[in-house]
């Protein structure tokens, strides 16, 4: 009998071997391989060595007819609906050593700039395909994590601290990116969702919104000038036509104070915000973040806004 050979980390065509998988019904060792298209598949070593299998099937899938693709998709859905099959393929039964090997192999891959660029190009190319994008949007709109999965995801991220280097790289990667007007994710869909108070409360609870430093400064200033007359509503505790004002008067005046951050609101016209609340009978004062540096000027601006027409 030939000695067992570990081929973890080796490449065969579009496939990179991640870890050893479960043997097939003929007791032949199979390996879990990651394809350049993003899929994972179980393949015998002999098929990899001989070159019989070079991808997860995506190369062959490119030349298939639409009818054939649909049949394959239906068969895959049927297989994954089987709990036994899903449990076997999910990797939940893997040992800690196997998981470490898998993590090491993937870490090795993602350390290579060319691999990261390749995966990024593949994802971008797929997403630019309108048919593929519509299919993914449809799947995501109906997908729901189970209670156990949500708990696992929450436990995994709870207390996790992102390093300064990771923050810098994320900022660099997203710098200059803007959503295209032609994208499927339009603001109209979000506006519609935020008309629903239940959805708004749910999202506010999930985000755990708290006042930032400039907002805390305004809160303290308002409490000092007009005790118990103003309330912070930037946590979505109060919305008007799907919009969330920062501070609302709760002493009989229909007045709103909005704080515009110099970074997040740059280029925005404060008059647009004023016009948003005006049809509902609210007067709005917009204060820019940089104005807080001049305390006397800010206090005078607030007094003039609050006390004018104050009957």
pLDDT tens digits for the chain (311 residues)?
456 678 888 888 888 888 888 887 778 888 888 888 778 888 888 888 888 888 887 776 555 566 776 777 788 888 778 877 766 666 555 667 777 777 778 888 888 888 888 888 888 888 888 888 888 887 777 777 778 888 888 887 777 778 888 888 888 877 766 555 444 445 566 667 777 777 777 777 777 778 888 999 999 999 999 998 999 988 888 888 778 899 999 888 899 999 998 888 888 898 998 998 999 999 999 999 999 999 999 999 999 998 876 54
Describe the strand order of the beta sheet including 247-249 as a list of residue ranges. 230-232, 247-249, 255-260, 283-288
Q: What's the chain's Rg over C-alpha atoms? A: 28
Q: Each residue of 176-206: b (16+ CB within 10 Å) or e? A: eeeeeeeeeeeeeeeeeebeeeeebeeebee
The structure tokens listed for 282 are 């609210």
CATH 3.40.960.10 domain position(s) in the chain: 213-307
The structure tokens listed for 17 are 């071997």
CATH architecture of 213-307: 3-Layer(aba) Sandwich (3.40)
Identify how many contiguous H helices and E strands the chain contains and give both numbers.
14, 8
How far apart are alpha carbons 220 and 259 in whole angstroms?
A: 14
Q: Each residue of 61-86: b (16+ CB within 10 Å) or e? A: eeeeeeeeeeeeeeeeeeeeeeeeee
Residues 6+ apart with CB under 8 A from 14: 35, 36, 37, 54, 55, 56, 58, 59
233 closest CA partner among 221, 245, 216: 245
Question: Helices (DSSP H) in 55-212: which residue ranges?
Answer: 58-61, 66-80, 83-90, 96-110, 113-128, 130-142, 147-157, 164-174, 187-193, 197-207
Describe the strand order of the beta sheet including 11-12 as a list of residue ranges. 11-12, 15-20, 30-35, 40-44
Angle between helices 96-110 and 113-128 (to 10 degrees): 80
Task: Report the residue count for the chain.
Answer: 311
Tell me, what's the pLDDT at 90? 60
- Tell me how crowded residue 210 is: count the other CB atoms within 10 A of its CB: 10
Tell me, what's the pLDDT at 185? 45
Tell me, what's the pLDDT at 204? 73
Tell me, what's the pLDDT at 275? 92
Cβ(39)–Cβ(56) below 8 Å: yes
Q: Each residue of 93-116: b (16+ CB within 10 Å) or e? A: ebeeebeebbeebeeebeeeeeee
Of all helices (H) and strands (E), which one includes residue 224? helix 213-225
How far apart are alpha carbons 258 and 287 in whole angstroms?
A: 6
Sign of CA dihedral 236, 240, 246, 250: negative
């Amino acid at each position: 009998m030939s000695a067992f050979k570990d081929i973890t980390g080796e490449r065969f065509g579009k496939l990179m071997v991640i870890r050893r998988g479960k043997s097939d019904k003929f007791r032949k060792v199979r390996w879990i391989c990651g394809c350049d298209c993003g899929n994972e598949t179980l393949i015998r070593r002999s098929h990899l060595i001989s070159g019989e299998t070079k991808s997860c099937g995506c190369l062959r899938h490119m030349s298939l007819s639409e009818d054939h693709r649909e049949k394959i998709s239906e068969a895959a859905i049927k297989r994954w609906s089987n709990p036994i099959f899903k449990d076997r393929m999910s990797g939940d039964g893997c040992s800690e050593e196997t998981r470490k090997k898998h993590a090491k192999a993937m870490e090795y891959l993602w350390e290579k700039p060319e691999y990261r660029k390749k995966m990024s190009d593949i994802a971008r190319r797929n997403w630019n395909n309108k048919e593929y994008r519509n299919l993914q949007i449809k799947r995501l709109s109906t997908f729901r994590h189970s209670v156990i999965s949500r708990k696992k995801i929450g436990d995994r991220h709870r207390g996790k601290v992102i390093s300064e280097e990771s923050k810098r790289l994320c900022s660099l990667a997203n710098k200059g990116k803007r959503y295209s007007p032609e994208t499927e994710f339009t603001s109209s869909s979000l506006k519609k969702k935020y008309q629903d108070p239940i959805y708004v409360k749910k999202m506010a609870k999930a985000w755990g919104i708290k006042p930032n430093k400039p907002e805390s400064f305004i809160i303290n200033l308002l409490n000092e000038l007009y005790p118990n007359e103003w309330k912070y509503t930037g946590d979505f505790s109060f919305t008007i036509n799907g919009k969330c004002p920062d501070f609302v008067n709760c002493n009989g005046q229909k007045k709103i104070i909005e704080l515009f951050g110099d970074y997040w609101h740059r280029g925005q016209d404060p008059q647009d915000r004023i016009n948003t609340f005006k049809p509902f009978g609210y007067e709005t004062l917009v204060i820019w973040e940089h104005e807080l540096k001049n305390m006397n000027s800010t206090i005078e601006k607030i007094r003039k806004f609050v006390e004018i027409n104050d009957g």
